[in-house]
């Protein structure tokens, strides 16, 4: 029994953002290749996006791409960030479906066939939901849970909890994402925003095979802030509310001072004055900071700079 002609086969694109993963990247390539070759009804391409790695990751990926035409490489001129790397891979992907997965093997490639089956059943987005997080500290689990609850309350759209960037998206969804030119990208929010038929698939997230996390606490806080600012104007509204609260407190302090004066008591002044000054100063600085964050993002968009700069490509089809 002969297989389907190559030109009629659907193609699966797998996008892998990579940053300093020389200890694990070959194993990632091997596992992804094995899983995709076990899907004989589909052609596939592996798109590795090297996000400015400073170790031997780039050399390994060049060697892999040189030996396997299905392995494709995009190398950035410097580190532009995880979300931008995924964006670059989706833009260059040519598959009927696009899978995004991290390079550290915490997300199991063995889940991809189940994702493909759900996609073939009519779902246009299949996202992986973490039911357990092996190898992660209680602090990281607690802060992740807090972030998802906070995002639920602040964002104007429903973003599934306990999901990362391990998902399959249909070609139509990929095309819609490619139309979005915003610089500060929060992809799990953008995928939720575009809509379409979406379904979850549960899995146990593995501990890292090698290397160390590229998302320490500082980056996680920044990433969380990006998600909130990108999909909510509630921080601006909170700043306005704080302004009204500060005004109310100031009037309260004024009324207290007048009451003390009318009843003949000496107004000592130091404590109330300092508290008022510090409170108002804090509110003003917080408000200016929130407004500045939104203005900074507007400036990024107005500049019109590209999201990333590519220094090398291997095995990639040229855009027409």
pLDDT in tens, 75-89: 998 888 888 899 999
pTM, to two decimals? 0.68
Closest Cα partner for 154 from 241, 245, 229, 243?
229
Q: What is the pLDDT of residues 147-169, one digit of tens each?
A: 666 666 666 667 777 777 889 99
- Does 51 score more than 80 pLDDT? yes
* In the chain, domain spans: 9-138+160-212+306-314, 234-303
Whether pLDDT at 2 is above 50: no
Confidence of residue 171 (pLDDT cuts 50, 70, 90): very high
**Integer Cα distance of 206 and 204 in angstroms:** 6
Give the residue carrying structure tokens 């993963």.
21
* Average confidence score pLDDT of the chain: 77
Q: 3-class secondary structure for the chain? A: CCCCCHHHCEEEEEEEEECCCCCCHHHHHHHHHHHHHCCCCEEEEEEEEECCCCCCHHHHHHHHHHHCCCEEEEEECCCCCHHHHHHHHHHHCCCCEEEECCCCCCCCHHHHHHHHHHHHCCCCEEEEEEEEECCCCHHHHHHHHHHHHHHHHHCCCCCCCCEEEEEEEEHHHHHHHHHCCCCCCCHHHHHHHHCCCEEEEEEEECCCCCCCCCCCHHHHHHHHHHHHHHHCCHHHHHHHHHHHHHHHHHHHHHHHHHHHHHCCCCCCCHHHHHHHHHHHHHHHHHHHHHHHHHHHHHHHHHHCCCCCCEEEEECCCCCC
Per-residue pLDDT at 99: 95
Condensed to tens digits (0 to 9), the pLDDT of residues 175-224 reads: 988 888 777 777 777 887 787 888 888 888 766 555 555 555 565 666 55
What pLDDT band is residue 137 in, cutting at 50, 70 and 90?
low
Say if residue 271's pLDDT is above 60: no
Q: Which tens digits make up the pLDDT trace of 11-29?
A: 999 999 999 888 889 999 9
Residue 68, pLDDT > 70, answer: yes
More confident residue, 177 or 267: 177
More confident residue, 320 or 226: 226
According to CATH, the superfamily of the domain at 9-138+160-212+306-314 is Spore Coat Polysaccharide Biosynthesis Protein SpsA; Chain A (3.90.550.10)
């Amino acid at each position: 029994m002969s297989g389907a002609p190559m030109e009629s086969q659907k193609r699966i694109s797998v996008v892998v953002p990579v940053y300093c993963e020389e200890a694990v990247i070959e194993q990632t390539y091997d596992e992804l290749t094995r899983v995709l070759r076990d899907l004989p009804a589909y052609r596939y391409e592996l798109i590795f996006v090297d996000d400015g790695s400073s170790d031997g990751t780039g050399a390994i990926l060049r060697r892999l791409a040189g030996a396997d035409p299905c392995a494709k490489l995009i190398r950035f001129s410097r580190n532009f960030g995880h979300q931008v790397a995924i964006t670059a891979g989706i833009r260059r992907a040519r598959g009927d479906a696009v899978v995004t997965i991290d390079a550290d093997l915490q997300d199991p490639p063995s889940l991809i066939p189940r994702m493909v089956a759900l996609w073939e059943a009519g779902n246009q987005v299949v996202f992986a939901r973490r039911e357990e997080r092996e190898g992660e500290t209680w602090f990281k689990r607690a802060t992740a849970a807090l972030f998802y609850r906070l995002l639920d309350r602040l964002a104007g759209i429903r973003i599934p909890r306990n999901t990362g960037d391990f998902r399959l998206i249909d070609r139509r969804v990929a095309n819609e994402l490619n139309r979005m030119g915003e610089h500060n990208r929060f992809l799990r929010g953008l995928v939720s925003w575009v809509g379409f038929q979406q379904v979850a698939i549960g899995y146990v997230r593995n501990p890292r095979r090698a290397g160390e996390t590229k998302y320490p606490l500082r980056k996680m806080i920044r990433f969380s802030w990006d998600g909130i600012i990108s999909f909510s104007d509630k921080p601006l509204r909170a700043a306005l509310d704080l302004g009204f609260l500060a005004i109310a407190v100031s009037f309260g302090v004024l009324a207290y001072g007048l009451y003390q004066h009318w009843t003949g008591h000496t107004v000592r002044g130091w404590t109330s004055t300092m508290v008022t000054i510090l409170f108002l100063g804090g509110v003003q600085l917080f408000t200016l900071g929130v407004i500045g964050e939104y203005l900074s993002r507007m400036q990024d968009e107005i500049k019109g700079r590209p999201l990333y700069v590519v220094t090398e490509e291997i095995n990639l089809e040229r855009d027409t």
